[in-house]
Homo-oligomer: A and B are copies of this chain.
């Protein structure tokens, strides 16, 4: 099941990453919107630093491939994917701050606050968060305002207090940060991770259904797929943290254990975690059954997420 990923898949992933990089490059350029207000160069520089750091661009890739199921023009999926990537990147910039995870290294280079300073990193994160909704509001994302506002609503909910941000707070609480008892039970860890990393991955998968005005059944299928790969992603991430080294990972390894943070892998043990991971991949593939051959790339994406080594 975890066979070598085909050339088609690798090429699709790389193409998407290149297209997203190019679009973000353009969206975060110095040219003022409407030509009316000067933008301070430092905020542009720090936003670009935080968002143009490369990476797999997995979330936009999921938007593109889920949108492709319904024949959505690629340019629209790229816009929604770029907005989502701005949210993902802002969360990394803020998460790395000294007051949060205090990380100096991200994708093999200094984090945004190390490269600039803490105040600039806070503002760069705020600006990336904000521009995500600006991007979704534009006609290039979809000609129908009802579709655009649906994307705004779903992205806000996936990334806000009931999604990513809430999950980040639970994650800090799990370390005992606020005088809280560290969480150690499986249910609480799964819940925290479903918010912290699962919610954005889930949004990436349902975004294609929103853009394509898909049927309820198709949206539900994408939602089930998104939930399954969210859990798979996190288990794979935890396994990487345990088994990898900083050189491969491009960031500090073994950090969770060092922080005394409970992970699913720590609780279940590596073999059981691997079984759980395989089951998530199977669930993800099963969710796509109704799409037949059209779902091939998304099925391979689920296997890729489980097998990735950085």
Residues of chain A at the chain B interface (Cβ within 8 Å): 32-33, 36-40, 42-44, 47, 90, 94, 97, 99-100, 117-120, 122-123, 125-127, 129-131, 133-134, 136-138, 145-146, 148-150, 152-153, 155-157, 159-163, 165-166, 168-170, 172-173, 177-178, 191, 194-195
Chain B CB count within 10 A is highest, among A125, A153, A161, A169, for A161
Residues of chain B with a CB closer than 8 A to A155's CB: 133
Residues of chain B with a CB closer than 8 A to A191's CB: 38
Chain B CB count within 10 A is highest, among A90, A146, A150, A162, for A162
A119: contacting residue among B99, B117, B156, B163, CB under 8 A: B99
B159 touches A130 (CB 8 A): yes
A149: contacting residue among B149, B165, B195, CB under 8 A: B149
A42: contacting residue among B97, B133, B145, B173, CB under 8 A: B173
Contact status of A127 and B161, CB under 8 A, knowing A137-B149, A149-B137: yes
B163 touches A37 (CB 8 A): yes
A94–B149 CA distance with the chains assembled, in angstroms: 27
A165 touches B195 (CB 8 A): no
A94: contacting residue among B126, B131, B161, CB under 8 A: B126
Residues of chain B with a CB closer than 8 A to A123's CB: 94, 165, 168-169
Copies per assembly: 2
A122: contacting residue among B100, B163, B177, CB under 8 A: B100
A33: contacting residue among B133, B150, B162, CB under 8 A: B162
A96–B106 CA distance with the chains assembled, in angstroms: 27
B127 touches A99 (CB 8 A): no
8 extra interface residue pairs, beta carbon distance < 8 Å, beyond A37-B194, A42-B173, A130-B165 = A33-B157, A122-B122, A127-B160, A127-B166, A133-B152, A145-B148, A148-B149, A152-B152
Taking the closest CB of chain B, its distance from the CB of A14, in whole angstroms, is: 29
Contact status of A166 and B39, CB under 8 A, knowing A94-B126, A145-B149: yes
Taking the closest CB of chain B, its distance from the CB of A95, in whole angstroms, is: 9
Residues of chain B with a CB closer than 8 A to A136's CB: 152
Contact status of A119 and B172, CB under 8 A, knowing A47-B161, A156-B130, A156-B137: yes
Question: Could you list 21 A-B pairs, sorted by A, with CB under 8 Å?
Answer: A33-B157, A37-B162, A37-B195, A38-B191, A39-B166, A40-B169, A40-B173, A43-B165, A43-B166, A43-B169, A94-B122, A126-B129, A126-B165, A127-B160, A127-B166, A130-B165, A131-B160, A133-B152, A134-B157, A136-B152, A149-B152
B169 touches A42 (CB 8 A): yes
Contact status of A160 and B130, CB under 8 A, knowing A122-B122, A145-B145: yes
